[in-house]
């Protein structure tokens, strides 16, 4: 997959990566896979697909009222009864 150096496309992918808490390359790959499924190859259609995926993630975050990073943080919190649990060597 050759690199696309379009600033707008990279910005949309960066926003998508931030909202999904993934790397920019993973976000670009997600857009590339979606574009390949639809049979689109030009840059403008990839931008539209990236915008569509980004809008979907924002809608899902609003519906759940938690972002992916906030829900991950919530999963990492220790339960009260497990706070002092230690594994032996």
Please give the pLDDT value at position 21: 84
Model pTM score: 0.66
17 phi/psi in degrees, rounded to 5: -60, -40
How many Å apart are CA 56 and CA 54, to the nearest integer?
5
| Residue linked to tokens 């990566």 | 17
For the chain, the structural domain boundaries read: 1-55
In this predicted structure, the answer to whether residue 22 has a pLDDT above a threshold of 80 is yes
In this predicted structure, the answer to whether residue 34 has a pLDDT above a threshold of 90 is yes
How many Å apart are CA 89 and CA 81, to the nearest integer?
21
How many Å apart are CA 24 and CA 86, to the nearest integer?
36
């Amino acid at each position: 997959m050759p690199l696309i150096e379009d600033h707008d496309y990279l910005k949309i992918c960066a926003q998508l990566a931030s909202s999904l808490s993934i790397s920019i390359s993973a976000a670009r790959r997600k857009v590339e896979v979606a574009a390949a499924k639809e049979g689109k190859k030009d840059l403008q259609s990839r931008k539209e697909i990236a915008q569509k995926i980004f809008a979907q993630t924002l809608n899902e975050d609003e519906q759940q009222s938690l972002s992916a990073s906030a829900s991950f943080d919530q999963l990492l919190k220790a339960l009260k009864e497990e706070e002092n649990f230690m594994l032996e060597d």
